[in-house]
Structure 1
Amino acid sequence: MTTEATTTDLQEFTENWLEWYRAQEARIADPHGFLAITNLHWLDERPRRFPDAPGAWRTGPDGVVVDLDDGEELVVGEAPVRGEHRFGVLAERGGVEAVWGDAVIEVAKRGGHDIVRPRHPDAPLRTAFTGTPAYAPDPRWAVTGRYVPFDEPRPTTVGAAVEGLEHVYDAPGRIEFDLLGRRLSLTAFPGHGAGRLMVLFTDATSGVTTYAANRVLTVGPPAADGTLVLDFNRAANLPCAYTDLATCPLPPAENRLPVAIEAGLRIPRERGGS
């Protein structure tokens, strides 16, 4: 009876993981996802044209501006725009998507710099994508931890996949947990959704079987007593694991774990993974 229950639990655990994995793969393979990016253009006050986007682009104190030639058009929101269009001052880690034919032109701010990143569905990196290698899911990598909030959020500066760029996050607290006989902790950043947390980390597999620079783990809101589950089977790759055209943040120094977490997504084939 116990064995049957355990088998059923493991099957459900595996099916839930597969659902998560398929959603990850769908996002990365999206026609306008990160594999579709054809270039990363850094804007300044000089108007410049790019081969993979319409118009002449510049930025300044009043934000990003594009000047479209006769016959050129973007759709911003649901409105067609022609001539000069002002995107205004963008929020850090924010951005706007403008549609150009079957492409999307991402206009964004990263590390204090305004950028344009065209995304074309026929980009070779996307059309050649065959999926991401991953470790088989194993319940032993899902551990209960405890969230310890800081007295007040701590501004934390981290590096980026692009040299010379920095990201700043307000870290609300840390997560303490036991794994492989070690007491460990991770500084957490705000996640997407109320109360959710995001953890950037590396471990002893980084650069060996998993992507060297970082992996990311999304954690649900802590319970009233601070407990939460860290399921490292769902350790995901950030876009920089696949393309040099991403500006992903790196983990803070204290999030470099001294153990080998053989769980989650592995080095993408685009980086030589198997």
Structure 2
Amino acid sequence: MSSEQDHAAFRRRREQSVRAAQGALALVTTAWIERPTTIDGVPGTWAPTPAGDGVALTATEADEITVDGRVVDGTVVVHPHDGMTPSRVRFDDTRTGYVIQRGRGVGVRIWDAESDAIARFEGFATYDHDPAWVVEGRFEPGSVEATVGRSQGGERVERMAGTVRATIQGHEVALLAMPDGDALQIVFADATTGDETYGVGRFLFVRPRRDGSVELDLNRAIVPPCAMSDQFDCPLPPAQNRLPFAIRAGEQRPRFADAAAA
């Protein structure tokens, strides 16, 4: 496919992804579980497990909650989504859930495939595709720690996979990159942030080649999930990734219909 066709396909996949049943627009609740508690809007009692291996869910058959396809009638352990044996929770025809494990403990995320955000979503405001924003760089691996702020406040020390060096519009940059499976995640801000683009910053995912070279297609810069649901706690750009020049490429902001008109 041509570059224009490839970019159009990327845009279609991106919008399908955020509209999905567990896409960014569907997240309606993130509840941190520190003691036995209930969660607004869904049945059951939720508690941290003594072993710290997930969340203990207590419910009756009448609650109609299923975990991994079985109706809960008693107490079961719901294992973390990113663990070796992740559990799938279903509440009804539109609402699902899973457990997350973070530095602050364990939490439960509730997703609604018919959320208000999905209903009001009208797509992303984006810059026009421009091949000039596709640049070559080089990945220099090296595990380093960096203090990274969070969209909901506070900071966290994150381990970086290394640095991506490139020349962007005549500016030499050295961008810290976090590991993301077989890819790298670059969280950055630029002179458009908070004005033309979303105020938290933007994400760019890249995959280094075996020789360390890497393509940075800034047309694929995306807004973080916290732009679509305030239930996400997104990383902020580390100081090294706050660029003094404008990157007028990629996504700007999600667009939503007015709530009164929806």
TM-score (norm 1): 0.84
Give 5+ residue unaligned stretches, structure 1: 1-10
1:44-80 Cα deviation digits (max 9, x unpaired): 11x2222322201122542311111341233323333
Does the 8 Å CA contact 2:81/2:98 hold for their aligned counterparts? no
The structure where strand makes up a greater share of residues is 2
* Greater Cα shift, 263-272 or 23-32: 263-272
Letter paired with 1:207: G
Report how many residues are paired.
Answer: 254
CA drift of 1:111 comes to 3.5
2:138 aligns to what?
146
1:74-130 Cα deviation digits (max 9, x unpaired): 3323333321111257769x9643111121112212332321221112211111111
Whether 1:206 and 2:206 are equivalent positions in the alignment is no
Q: Distance in 2 between matches of 1:135 and 1:24?
A: 15
Letter paired with 2:191: A
Does the 8 Å CA contact 2:148/2:157 hold for their aligned counterparts? yes
Whether 1:101 and 2:92 are equivalent positions in the alignment is yes
2:4 aligns to what?
14
Whether 1:128 and 2:120 are equivalent positions in the alignment is yes
Equivalent in 48, 64, 77 of residue 68 of structure 2: 77
Does the 8 Å CA contact 2:197/2:251 hold for their aligned counterparts? yes
Letter paired with 2:115: A
Letter paired with 1:259: F
Q: Distance in 1 between matches of 2:81 and 2:11?
A: 32
Whether 1:41 and 2:31 are equivalent positions in the alignment is yes
CA 1:28/1:128 → structure 2, altered by over 3 Å: closer, same or farther? same
2:240 aligns to what?
254
**1:1-274 correspondence runs (5 A):** 12-45=2-35, 47-63=36-52, 64-87=55-78, 96-102=87-93, 103-150=95-142, 153-164=143-154, 166-193=155-182, 196-224=183-211, 226-270=212-256
Letter paired with 2:190: D
Does the 8 Å CA contact 2:137/2:215 hold for their aligned counterparts? yes
Does the 8 Å CA contact 1:155/1:171 hold for their aligned counterparts? yes
CA RMSD of aligned residues (A): 2.3
CA 1:146/1:139 → structure 2, altered by over 3 Å: closer, same or farther? same
Q: Distance in 1 between matches of 2:110 and 2:204?
A: 27
| 1:38 alignment partner, SS class | strand
Q: Distance in 1 between matches of 2:12 and 2:28?
A: 24
CA drift of 1:38 comes to 2.0
Letter paired with 2:198: Y
Does the 8 Å CA contact 2:58/2:72 hold for their aligned counterparts? no
TM-score (norm 2): 0.88
CA drift of 1:176 comes to 0.8
| 1:269 alignment partner, SS class | strand
Does the 8 Å CA contact 2:135/2:167 hold for their aligned counterparts? yes
CA drift of 1:175 comes to 0.8
CA 1:251/1:229 → structure 2, altered by over 3 Å: closer, same or farther? same
Q: Distance in 2 between matches of 1:113 and 1:145?
A: 37
Q: Distance in 1 between matches of 2:87 and 2:219?
A: 32
Does the 8 Å CA contact 1:43/1:115 hold for their aligned counterparts? yes
Q: Distance in 1 between matches of 2:79 and 2:214?
A: 40
Does the 8 Å CA contact 1:41/1:115 hold for their aligned counterparts? yes
Give 5+ residue unaligned stretches, structure 2: none
Letter paired with 1:131: G
Letter paired with 1:15: Q
Identity %: 32
CA drift of 1:43 comes to 1.3
1:6 aligns to what?
none
